[in-house]
Structure 1
Amino acid sequence: MTTAQRTHPIGARQAVAAGCLLVVVLLGVGVAASWGPQLRLDTDVSRALYAGDGRSSLVQALLDVATAPGYTVARLVVFLPVVVWLLRARRWTSAVWVTVSVVGVGLVNSAVKELVGRPRPQFADGGAQLTSLSFPSGHASGIACLVTTALVLAWPVLSRTARRWSTAAAVVLALLVGLSRMWLGVHYLSDVVAGWALGVAWTLLVVTVVQGVRWTRA
């Protein structure tokens, strides 16, 4: 295997992470600077997607199910057994980067929320009932971190077909969770997009720094 073959995956990983970080920065600056076109788009999309006040118990239950994978506890429930397995297999660096990625994304997301300071959408049964900040969406960043971590771990042992299907499933799940936050009226479009970008960027940066996965074996 040549040096170029060994280093290419890391370079691609860094490029994707940098691109995602750029998205977070640009959207965050737009919100902080009250950039009109972005705020108008956010408002129009949030109004169009909001499931409405007084929605039925069935609709509420479906939305609760759709948004659940984005909770912090969901990430911990999914990856705690994985970390235990990695430790038992003596894959120490993999256990470290998975732990840092899954736990740290919430902390990073909270820090960005405080930096930007955006209030929630003011729907009576949506963001208006929450005191926490809106940008970026913690559910969107959480699910993006979860699926990216899962793909990075599984990639070396997946066939080409399995990689395609796994990536498609990951994208669908992330989209569902992100859209559910707007259906519930608790986030704007740019909150969700920035959350997705932050989750992917954070995970890939952690992998790159810790170097817990030998991509060249894939």
Structure 2
Amino acid sequence: MTTAQRTHPIGARVAAVAGCALVVVLLGVGVGVGWGPQLRLDAEVSRAAYAGDGRSPLVQGLLDVATAPGYSWARFLVFLPVVVWLLRAHRWLPAAWVTVSVVGVGVLNEALKELVGRPRPQFADGGAQLSSLSFPSGHASGVACLVTTALVLAWPALSRGARRWWTAAAVALALLVGQSRLWLGVHYLSDVVGGWAFGVGWTLLVVTVAQGVRWTRA
């Protein structure tokens, strides 16, 4: 493998991280300064997507299932056995970057929420019930981190066809969780998009730094 071939994946990841960071910054600034077109689109989409007040137990249950992969406990449930396996195999540094990825995304997402300070949509059975802030969506960033971490770990072992299928499944899961936040009325569209961008960008940043200091093999 040539030097150019070895560095190309890292260069692509750096570009992806920069793109994700730009999305988060632009959306966050738009919220912070009250940019009219973004706020109007957010309001219109949230009203159109909201599943409504007084939802039936069945509908609420389905929405709870759809949104569950975005919780912190879902990431820990998926990756705790992976980290234990890596430690038992004496693969200390891959275990470290996986841990940093899945734990750090939640901590930093909360910091971003405090920085931007956006209130939740005020639907009676949605954001009005929550005291936490809105931008970016922790569920969207959490599921984006989950699927990106899983794909990075599995990628070398997957065939070209399997990579396409697993990537499609990962995108579908991230879309479902993000949409569920709109159905539940607890986030705006830009919260969800910003969360996706932050989750992907953070994970790729951790992987890129890890490769840069030879924590993992290219």
Give 1:16 shift. 0.5
Counterpart for residue 146 of structure 1: 146
Secondary structure of the residue that 1:86 maps to in structure 2? helix
**For residue 11 of structure 1, what is the aligned residue in structure 2?**
11
Partner of 1:148, secondary structure, is helix
1:131 to partner: Cα distance:
0.3
Distance 2:143 2:71 in 1: 8
Equivalent residue number for residue 113 of structure 2: 113
CA distance in 1, matches of 2:81, 2:151: 16
**Which of 198, 213, 217 lines up with 1:214 in the alignment?**
217
Alignment of 1:10-159 (within 5 A): 10-159=10-159
Tell me, in whole angstroms, the C-alpha distance in 2 between the residues paired with 1:129 and 1:169: 32
CA, structure 1 residues 213+161, in 2 after alignment: closer, same or farther (shift >3 Å)?
Answer: farther
Q: CA deviation at 1:93?
A: 1.1
Task: Assess if the C-alpha contact under 8 Å between 1:46 and 1:187 holds in 2.
Answer: yes
1:146 positional shift: 0.2
Deviations 1:140-199 (A, max 9, x none): 000000000000000001000000000000000000000000000000000000000000
TM-score calculated relative to the size of structure 2: 0.98
Structure 2: gaps of 5 or more residues: none
| DSSP 3-state at the match of 2:125 | coil
Matched, 1:199 2:199: yes
Residue of structure 2 in register with 1:166 after alignment = 166
CA shift, 1:214, in A, is 2.6
CA distance in 1, matches of 2:134, 2:59: 23
Aligned CA RMSD, in angstroms, stands at 0.6
Structure 1 residue ranges without an equivalent (≥5): none
The ranges of structure 1 where at least 4 consecutive aligned residues each deviate by more than 4 angstroms after the TM superposition are none
C-alpha distance in 2 between matches for 1:100 and 1:124: 36
Q: For this pair of structures, how many residues does the alignment match? A: 215
3-state DSSP class of the match of 1:186?
coil
Query: Partner amino acid for 1:45?
Result: V
Deviations 1:43-93, CA, capped at 9 Å, x for gaps:
000000000001111110000000000000000010000000011111111
CA distance in 2, matches of 1:150, 1:32: 33
The residue type paired with residue 217 of structure 2 is: R
Aligned amino acid, residue 92 of structure 1: W
Query: Does the aligned pair in 2 maintain the 1:117–1:135 contact within 8 Å?
Result: yes
CA distance in 1, matches of 2:95, 2:210: 10
Check conservation: 1:153, 1:213, Cα contact below 8 A: no
Shift of 1:213: 3.6
